[in-house]
Amino acid sequence: MAIGVKTVERPEGGASYLRATLKGMALTFKHLVTPITVSQQYPEEKWELAPRMRGTHRMAVHEDGRAKCVACGLCPTICPANCIKLIPAEDENGERYAAVYEIDEFRCIFCGYCQEVCPVEAIHLGVHYEAAEFSRERFVYDLERLCDQDHAFTQLWDPEDPLSE
Amino acid sequence: MGPLSTTAFVIIGAVKVIVIFTLWLLAVAGVTLAERKVAAWIQDRSGPNRVGPWGVLQPIADGLKNFVKEETRPADSSRLLFMLAPMMSMFPAFVVFAVIPIAAPLTTPWGTVNIIIADLPVGFLFILALASLGVYGLVLGGWASNSKYPFLGGVRASAQMISYEVALGLSLVPILMLSGNVSLPEIVSQQQETLWFVLPLMVGYLFFTVAYFAETNRPPFDMPEAESELVYGFHTEYSAMKFAIFMMAEYSNMIVASALMATFFFGGWDIPFWVGDNMRVAAGGVVVGAAPAWWITLLTAASFALKTGFFVLLFIWVRWTIPRFRYDQVMSLGWKVMIPALIAYIVVLGVAMLLLEASGVQVDTTYMLWLTGLNLIGVLVIIFWLDRKRVIVGSGWKQFRPQETR
């Protein structure tokens, strides 16, 4: 072994590569003829998502289509990733509403604090993961877009068992 | 039926070239799909299933994709050689098929047609010569890329293919000794009259298979590409259609190898246990043996395709089972095991044949059966030698695991 190859001492009667090869061929042949696949045909078949799966956001709306958000400012305060931009305003009745409400889904870490802290149950995470877009700008969801989402709200806890007992 | 006139020869020759070449390109496309499908099934996946029913149009989609993709060429690469390499790789892979007989001869109103593009008198020597040319594509591709890994791939390709060409040539010597001929149609007709050469030349067949696996750079001998070591080796820098041409050459080589295994050792287009197809074209275009008919030609072509398909499947099956050899193992297998063993085999076989002839046995089925016995012993010797004590003791690696190996 002029090029310094380390020769491993195999125990006497040890590994037989002829048998191992034949065994391997038999194994692959068995898999070849067994008609099972573990593939999921993705766009047609999808995962059944857990109700607590935390995906892209969704804003709850009133029956007349207004966002439930009262622009209290708790969610941008608690957000650890600092991804929520909120500019509050007041309408003629003196009710606060969000003039600008944007969530940068790239920055978001999907911790769910915004949903937890929201006093009016307006902002929610959603059971949703197919968030692909053609440009980076599209990942900043504005208020209109957040209201338009129609996937399920994430349940941060099981309503039957809120303390996970 | 006499020989073809010159005009008929030219026209029929052109038709044969077009038909066989087209079928062959289709076969290459089919094999690329088969590889992906079989790989998927072995790994419990589905494989390509989007383009057409069961993904049968996948090769067309691949081809289209490769045609419209961007061609890249590394800076400071040698432009001419870079362009030449895929061509050099594809040309021998596609020309070799000309000398392989595909089906039983066919009688036409213009004369007897041999279903083989070119019945060259040099026979399989032509195949060996062109198979050696195939390495130029790999070496040039590796060299012209002006890049580290392709260069290493090219170097590996040249060393490996030269080593295994010796073994390949030697493993065909027994065929030459037994049939006394290099012409492939002649070899096929001799197998029809006696036994398939896989029986009397079993050891030779095993070595031929291993040598041709190495020659086609298929796993477990895919040293020149070795994606985990060399990032696909000699064709790392190739893209789009040039890359596709390398791939076509590889698959084409694989089909050639399978067709050669079928032709040399499994009777070519012969249908076993049936004398209705035992015919051959003698001098002057006269068919000796059974009467040719178009349906016999079709049946024998199907038989040939079936055998070739089986060996293609074997190639794919082995690829998705056995891990790649280490490079020094490939080299020592080639030089230290295969070549000496083949020389010894040739000597033993030659002595046996001389003894058989001296004892007055005609070259017929009895003669072949004697050689079959000899070869069975040879195979057993090889198995025992490869496996030493383990054939009897068993693989038994587990029982040594706890203490002895730590």
Q: What is the DSSP string of B147-215?
A: SHHHHHHHHHHHHHHHHHHHHHHHHHHHHHHHHS---HHHHHHHHHHS--TTTTTHHHHHHHHHHHHHH
Q: Which residue has the tokens 């010597």?
A: B173
Over the stretch B164-204, which tens digit does the pLDDT of each residue have? 888 888 888 888 888 888 888 888 888 887 778 888 888 88
Nearest CA in chain A to B49: A41
Instruction: Report which residue type is found at A49.
Output: L
Contacts of A43 in chain B (CB under 8 A): none
The whole-number pLDDT of residue B2 equals 57
Residue B193 near residue B278 (C-beta atoms within 8 A): yes
pLDDT mean over A114-124: 88
Contact A18 B44 (CB under 8 A): no
Range of the domain at A122: 55-148
Residue B406 touches partner A, C-beta closer than 8 Å: no
pLDDT > 70 in chain B, percent: 93
Report d(CA B210, CA B331) in Å as an integer.
Answer: 13
Contact A31 B42 (CB under 8 A): yes
Token duo for residue A77: 């305060």
The whole-number pLDDT of residue A9 equals 67
- Does position B1 have pLDDT exceeding 60, yes or no? no
Over the stretch B316-367, which tens digit does the pLDDT of each residue have? 999 888 888 878 778 888 888 888 888 998 998 889 888 888 887 777 777 7
Report d(CA B119, CA B189) in Å as an integer.
Answer: 14
Residue B329 touches partner A, C-beta closer than 8 Å: no
The whole-number pLDDT of residue A77 equals 92
State how many domains chain A has.
1
Over the stretch B107-119, which tens digit does the pLDDT of each residue have? 777 777 777 887 7
Strand partners, B112: B107
The whole-number pLDDT of residue A15 equals 56
Cis peptide before B220 (omega within 30 of 0): yes
Say if A17 falls within a structural domain: no
pLDDT mean over B53-59: 85
Say if A65 falls within a structural domain: yes
Q: Which residue has the tokens 């595909």?
A: B102
Strand partners, A67: A61
Cα distances (angstroms) measured from residue A51 to each of A127, A160, B83: 7, 13, 57
- Does position B394 have pLDDT exceeding 60, yes or no? no
Report d(CA B251, CA B273) in Å as an integer.
Answer: 31
pLDDT mean over B144-168: 85
Nearest to B317 among A17, A29, A38 (CB): A29
Interface test with B, best of A23, A25, A28, A40 (most B CBs within 10 A): A28
Instruction: Report which residue type is found at B305.
Output: A
Over the stretch B202-245, which tens digit does the pLDDT of each residue have? 888 888 998 888 888 887 888 777 777 777 777 888 888 888 88
Q: Which residue has the tokens 């060259």?
A: B120
Query: Which among B211, B116, B213 has a CA at the least distance from the CA of B163?
Result: B211
Q: How confident is the model at residue B311 (pLDDT cuts 50, 70, 90)?
A: very high
CB pairs under 8 A between A and B: 71
Q: Which of A106-110, B114-118, B130-134 has the highest mean pLDDT?
A: A106-110
Say if A107 falls within a structural domain: yes
pLDDT mean over A36-51: 83
CA B68, chain centre distance (Å): 31
Backbone angles phi, psi at B106, to 5 degrees: -120, 135
Q: 3-class DSSP state for residue B234?
A: helix
Contacts of A2 in chain B (CB under 8 A): none
Say if A26 falls within a structural domain: no
Say if A114 falls within a structural domain: yes
- Does position B385 have pLDDT exceeding 50, yes or no? yes
Say if A38 falls within a structural domain: no
Instruction: Please report, for the domain that includes residue A68, its CATH number.
Output: 3.30.70.3270
pLDDT mean over B27-45: 89
C-alpha angle A150-A153-A159 in degrees, rounded to nearest 5: 150
